[in-house]
Structure 1
Amino acid sequence: MKVTGFISASLFAAGLVLIPIVAFAGATLDRVMAEKQLVMSSDPAYPPQSFLNDNNEMDGFDVDVGREIAKRLGVELKIITPSWEVITAGNWQGRWDMSVGSMTPTTQRAEVLDFPAIYYYVPAAFAVHKDSSAQSLADLNGKTIGVCGGCTYEAYLNKNLVIDAVGTPEFTYDVDAGEIRSYETDTNAFDDLRLGDGTRLDAVMSALPTIMEAIKNNYPLRVVGEPGFYEPLAVATDKGDDEFNAKIAEAVQAMHDDGTLAALSEKWYGVDYTTVK
């Protein structure tokens, strides 16, 4: 799943030249508990997962999940918004402690990040313009389909998606795109699709809740066919602190067990996405 931020990767890249590499392995939990603050990376423009509300405050499902994790650790939550590329690159150097950003735990990402807890599962679906004649996934074969660059949806359309998280539902590649167009964000792709059926795009592949949020915000779109796959979405941490990962896993499991995650999913999506249907 894709998350974007408004702080550019280039700014962070420049910063990395000036910041010495510091080893935080094994020290994250100690730092969080000592400072009584858990720093979370998030996205200010990815509703309903995370966004700036009318009061210019961070809000959304992922934000609520992050706040609940911090609460259960007995610390305050601070949110920052680095770019998606910087988050998934790992080697955070203590600038933030965890990402609750609807991240799919792919094999490639697991080389630089840890994924201590899956907190929900989301169907990856296809949206078409409301005037499209497409009625099934087969109708999208040979069509121009938009996706966010670097997302699991792009990998799916390229037929090289690898999700090796425990409990990941099996999937098949049911669409042969004629052309895959990559966008910086899902919203950019929706903006092109809303121009008309086939004007720039024939369809967009994205998370079903993100598509439904766009429709709610008056984008002239509709969902076509069954989901391409269900992706587990996990809390991500930088590599090196098993004790911190264990605390995160414990908090998220408790949120599963006591119904907190299900309630938050119902609040933001109107359905419980915290288990595989």
Structure 2
Amino acid sequence: MKTKLAVLAAAVAMLASPALAGETLDRVMKTGKLTMASEADYPPQSFLNDNNEMDGFDVSVGKEIAKRLGVEFASVTPAWEMMVSGGWSGRWDVAVGSMTPTKARAEVLNFPAIYYYTPAAFAVHTDSKVQSLDELNGKVIGSCGGCTYDAYLMQDLVIDAEGTPPFEYQVKAGELKTYESDTNAFDDLRLGDGVRLDAVFSALPTIQEAIKNGYPMRVVGEPAFYEPLAVATDKGDPEFDAKIAEIIAEMHKDGTLKALSEKWYGVDLTTVK
């Protein structure tokens, strides 16, 4: 889902002090609060609702983790690059931000549990004549920069998490335009077919939410690939990681994650179709 690559991750990690064993779990239990990092403008995963409160699928998952830990829930919205760089120094305890557990990120973060899978899809303006993925070859396509979507379009995507379904490169853009966020790409597409973009490439749930909110877009073809999304923690606390893994496993088993997925996405994304 939101999977920007941290170019300076290694450098940042070297400057940061790793957590001591048990430090995060001890802090959470002593303070009685779990602080979760996510983005403030990434619906339906995480966003500010009409009451100016954080809401969405990721936020709901974070709240359930806190509940099962027996502590209060709090959220912060740091820049994405800060989340994926590691070395959090206790500023937050966990990141539930639809993060892909790549090998590069695993050098600075831990990924104790995968909680759902998201399909990546192409969308065009409703005025577009494009009907199939092969018609997108050579077109101007927009995506978030430094994420799995632009990596796919550059044919340089590596998702090495266990259980990731295989995929093929079905589309080769004539020109790739990258943006700070998916919404920025959608904003350019909504200007009209071919005005700035011919298509966008993003997470299917994000595209569907944009369409629901009035963006003149439609999905083309089947998902290009599925990516696992994991809860992320800072390095150095295996006890905390084990507890997060245990809770997510319970949420899978008792149907909580399935119910939350169906609430926010209308379908069960907790297993690969």
Which category describes the TM-score, using the shorter chain as reference length? over 0.9
Partner of 1:2: 2
Partner of 1:158: 154
1:114 counterpart = 2:110: yes
1:265 counterpart = 2:261: yes
Q: Secondary structure at the match of 1:161?
A: coil
Q: Secondary structure at the match of 1:82?
A: coil
Percent identity for Structure 1 against Structure 2: 72
Q: Secondary structure at the match of 2:116?
A: strand
Partner of 1:179: 175
Query: For residues 91-135 of structure 1, what are the alpha-carbon distances to aligned partners after superposition, in whole Å with 9 as ceiling and x for unaligned?
Result: 111111110000011111111111000000010000100111111
Which amino acid in the other structure matches residue 25 of structure 1? L
Query: For residues 196-235 of structure 1, what are the alpha-carbon distances to aligned partners after superposition, in whole Å with 9 as ceiling and x for unaligned?
Result: 1110000000000000000001100000011110010000
Alignment partners' CA distance in 1, 2:241 and 2:144? 29
Question: Could you state the TM-score of these two structures normalised by the residue count of structure 2?
Answer: 0.94
Alignment partners' CA distance in 1, 2:3 and 2:122? 18
1:56 counterpart = 2:52: yes
Q: Secondary structure at the match of 1:64?
A: helix
Partner of 1:236: 232
Alignment partners' CA distance in 2, 1:249 and 1:150? 28
- The number of residue pairs the alignment matches comes to 263
Alignment partners' CA distance in 2, 1:44 and 1:150? 19
Q: Secondary structure at the match of 1:223?
A: strand
Alignment partners' CA distance in 2, 1:82 and 1:25? 23
Counterpart contact for 2:18–2:235, Cα < 8 Å:
no
Aligned partner (choices 86, 91, 96) of residue 90 of structure 1: 86
Q: Secondary structure at the match of 1:199?
A: coil
Equivalences for 1:164-243 in 2 at 5 Å?
164-243=160-239
Residue 51 of structure 1, CA deviation = 0.5
Counterpart contact for 1:48–1:209, Cα < 8 Å:
yes
Residue 2 of structure 1, CA deviation = 2.0
Aligned partner (choices 19, 25, 28) of residue 20 of structure 2: 25
1:135 counterpart = 2:127: no
Structure 1 residues 134 and 90: CA distance shift in structure 2, 3 A: same
Counterpart contact for 2:100–2:230, Cα < 8 Å:
yes
Residue 25 of structure 1, CA deviation = 2.6
Question: Could you state the TM-score of these two structures normalised by the residue count of structure 1?
Answer: 0.92
Counterpart contact for 1:102–1:234, Cα < 8 Å:
yes
Alignment partners' CA distance in 1, 2:39 and 2:145? 16
Q: Secondary structure at the match of 1:201?
A: coil
Counterpart contact for 1:3–1:46, Cα < 8 Å:
no
Alignment partners' CA distance in 2, 1:108 and 1:152? 12
Aligned partner (choices 98, 104, 115) of residue 102 of structure 1: 98
Equivalences for 1:11-22 in 2 at 5 Å?
21-22=16-17
1:38 counterpart = 2:40: no
Alignment partners' CA distance in 2, 1:98 and 1:163? 21
Q: Secondary structure at the match of 1:39?
A: strand
Q: Secondary structure at the match of 2:188?
A: helix
Partner of 1:11: none
Alignment partners' CA distance in 1, 2:233 and 2:177? 30
Alignment partners' CA distance in 2, 1:231 and 1:117? 14
Q: Secondary structure at the match of 2:60?
A: helix
Q: Secondary structure at the match of 2:247?
A: helix
Counterpart contact for 1:3–1:43, Cα < 8 Å:
no
1:74 counterpart = 2:70: yes
Residue 239 of structure 1, CA deviation = 1.0
Q: Secondary structure at the match of 1:188?
A: helix
Residue 21 of structure 1, CA deviation = 4.7
